[in-house]
Amino acid sequence: SDKLAEKRLMFLKDISNYFTSQNLEGKLNTHLTKDNIDKFFNERFETLSIKSQENYIRGISSMFKGLFDQNIYIPIHYEDTAFFDDRVKTIKDQYETIIENRYIDNVDLVIENLYENRAITGLIAQCQYDLSIRQEEAFELVYNPLKYIENGYIENLIGKGNHIYEPKEISFELEQKLLNNQEELISKSTYYYNLQKYDISSHNFRFTSARDKFEEKVNSGISEKEAKSQISKILNHYREFITDYYLKRTE
């Protein structure tokens, strides 16, 4: 139908724009791997509701199946045929735990408990909260800390849209934890399920960090407008209304 064709064209444009932002060149279909689509979903879903995320996944899955049935090579179908079903299941599992307020009360205690349950989970969570970064970026930092730690700062960390964060000061404590970590990096699904024990999602750490840093700046005498501008830079946001969204979800 015309509506279906319009939706599929929208999906293809979304994916194409994301791949362009990641400097991926060549035929579009050859880049449709599980890893690339997983990263695409993580970026695309940042501000979508849970239901919209599920509908989006189902729409993409239907489109890919149509292409696959037309004998168009799509690597993701050869890597993991259950990929989309797993993503939908993860979304559904969140229905009863996602709440409007994304703020984590007693965040330091939560992170401490995560360390006790599984040290690598606590380390990822602390990176997200202390540095105000996304799950994807925290995983990259934990996986390869020497690439980014320089003289007490995190430098050249790439965020959403291929935008590089401004240098971030890192505490000596967290720096040493990263450099001395001997644990193997867990999967994102394992991280998700570890956090579910506390009824939180990974992005809640970034929301909480934004609110805490905003309040610290305002309490120090900085105007709310200037504080919001500084938080936008910390979060690597290029549109201030996204920062507004973060702060409103933690009121």
> What's 201's DSSP letter?
-
Return the SS3 of 151.
coil
The CB density around residue 175, as the number of other CB atoms within 10 Å, is: 16
Could you tell me which of 121, 75, 126, 87 has the C-alpha nearest to residue 104?
Answer: 126
User: Residue 45: what pLDDT?
Assistant: 80
Query: 């709440």: which residue's tokens?
Result: 99
Query: Would you give per-residue pLDDT tens digits along the chain (251 residues)?
Result: 677 888 888 998 999 988 888 888 888 888 888 888 888 888 888 767 677 888 888 888 888 888 777 888 887 765 555 788 888 877 766 554 444 568 898 999 999 999 999 999 999 999 999 999 999 999 999 999 999 999 999 999 999 878 899 999 999 999 999 999 999 999 988 999 999 989 898 989 999 999 999 999 999 999 998 998 999 999 988 777 777 777 776 66
Count the helices and strands in the chain (H runs, E runs). 13, 3
Exposed, middle or buried: residue 139 (CB in 10 Å: 0-12, 13-18, 19+)?
A: buried
Task: Give the pLDDT confidence score for residue 167 in this predicted structure.
Answer: 96
Task: Give the C-alpha separation, 207 to 201, whole Å.
Answer: 10
The pTM of this model reads: 0.63
Q: Which of 76, 86, 87 lies closest to 50 in space, CA to CA?
A: 87
Chain CA centroid to CA 168, Å: 18
Element at 149 (helix H, strand E): strand 149-150
DSSP assignment of the chain: -HHHHHHHHHHHHHHHHHHHHTT--S-GGGG--HHHHHHHHHHHTTTS-HHHHHHHHHHHHHHHHHHHHTT---HHHHH-TTHHHHHHHHHHHHTTT--S----TTHHHHHHHHHHH-HHHHHHHHHHHHHT--HHHHHHHHH-GGGTEETTEE-S-B-GGGPBPPPEE--HHHHHHHHH--SPPPPHHHHHHHHHTTT--THHHHHHHHHHHHHHHHHTT--HHHHHHHHHHHHT-SSHHHHHHHHHTT-
Question: What's the pLDDT score for residue 99?
Answer: 45
